[in-house]
Amino acid sequence: MSPYGPTLLTALMLGFCLTASAEPLDEPLKPLPLAPVQDPQRVELGRQLFNETRLSVNNSLSCASCHHLEKGGADDRAFSIGFNGQPLGINTPSVLNASLNFRQFWNGRAETLEAQIHDMVQSPVEMGNNWEHVVQTLSTDPAYHSAFGNAYPDGVTAANVQNALATYERTLLSANSRFDQYLQGNTDILSLDEKYGYQRFKDYGCIACHQGVNIGGNMFQKFGVMDDYFQARGNPTESDLGRYLVTKDEEDRNVFKVPSLRNVAVTAPYFHDGSAKTLEDAVDVMFKYQLGRVPSAEDKALIIQFLRTLTGEWGGKPL
């Protein structure tokens, strides 16, 4: 019997199906969709651009420099290093499944992947470039000149660079997590403790914000609903203002896009400030500042076991 859960009979009464089912489960969380069909020439061009250091003004950084696909699509540092060798002011979110978010960036200032790319290349702390220079650089490269000509009627333009990158990013879905397999009807794929962890995740209210197909990424929320996280942490920064930087609305102070929990077990450190070094730390912060509750050690352990089932695959390999 599980050291954390009730008896098998109680588990059955809770509605846990312990045998494989042929039917998808009717749950508030949904499995990842299939990657949309995209123009293969634009996808390949976008892949090359994703790894192209000449997008930065001094040829030092590519998108892949901070978004490590084989490690969850994020950076394992609290703050990535910009083109000038200085750390950024905010944690790098994962690019995997980013196309499923309703906004981009922690403060949601970009509504599309294309808009996010537009800002990132011109950022004075990220790539430090400008689009006129990017277009000129790529146009004078024979390989890019040809590839753009084949993929777009008007060849190398800023809009086409952004579209190629966004087209590639829309293919970056981390499919086949064990939780997705569970939602699709393979109920044996999760252990009983992992199923209890999912139930606790729902019971405590985590699912109120981490919801939908991306298990987050579809709403804004104040960081510190039940207590003042920033006062407790100290050393306020501009990035802590969150969505207020976009709207200048006082109600948006310390408000951020709720991050996706997909692949959360492999994308430490956590939060916009990279302050939580481990998944255990992050869960503690969420309980205290978002839920205002103290879980039992058993419930916390069960929830973390559930969160580890959200890790998918990239390139046919588990992350």
pLDDT (tens digit per residue) in 1-29 = 444 444 333 344 344 444 444 599 999 99
Compute the average pLDDT of residues 157-166. 98
Q: Where does the pLDDT of residue 306 fall: very low under 50, low under 70, confident under 90, or very high at 90 and above?
A: very high
Domain 8-30+175-318: which topology? Cytochrome Bc1 Complex; Chain D, domain 2 (1.10.760)
pLDDT (tens digit, 9 = 90+) per residue, 103-142?
Answer: 999 999 999 999 999 999 999 999 999 999 999 999 999 9
Q: What is the pLDDT of residue 22?
A: 56
Backbone angles phi, psi at 314, to 5 degrees: -140, 130
Which of 11, 12, 270, 318 is CA-nearest to residue 174? 318
Tell me the pLDDT of the chain averaged across its residues.
Answer: 93
- Residues 305 and 197: beta-carbon distance below 8 Å: yes
Residue 101 has pLDDT above 50, yes or no: yes
What burial letters (b/e) apply to 244-254, b meaning 16+ CB within 10 Å? bbbeeeeebbb
Can you tell me whether residue 20 is helix, strand or coil?
coil
Catalytic residue among 52, 114, 126, 169: 126
pLDDT at 214 over 50: yes
CA 214 to chain centre: 8
Residue from 298, 300, 275, 276 nearest 287 by CA: 300
> What's the pLDDT score for residue 10?
39
% of residues, the chain, pLDDT over 90: 92
The pLDDT tens digits of the residues spanning 189-208 come to 999 999 999 999 999 999 99
Q: Which of 276, 279, 283 has the alpha carbon at shortest distance from 78?
A: 276
Is 40-169 assigned to CATH 1.10.760.10? Answer: yes
Q: Where in the chain is the domain with CATH 1.10.760.10?
A: 8-30+175-318, 40-169
pTM > 0.95: no
d(CA 272, CA 93): 8
What was the pLDDT predicted at 268? Answer: 98
Is 238 a catalytic site residue?
no
Examine the pLDDT at 87 and tell me if it is beyond 90.
yes
Count of helix runs (H) and strand runs (E) in the chain: 13, 4
Q: Is 71 helix (H, G, I), strand (E, B) or coil?
A: helix
**Residue appearing with tokens 């994308």:** 267
pLDDT at 7: 38
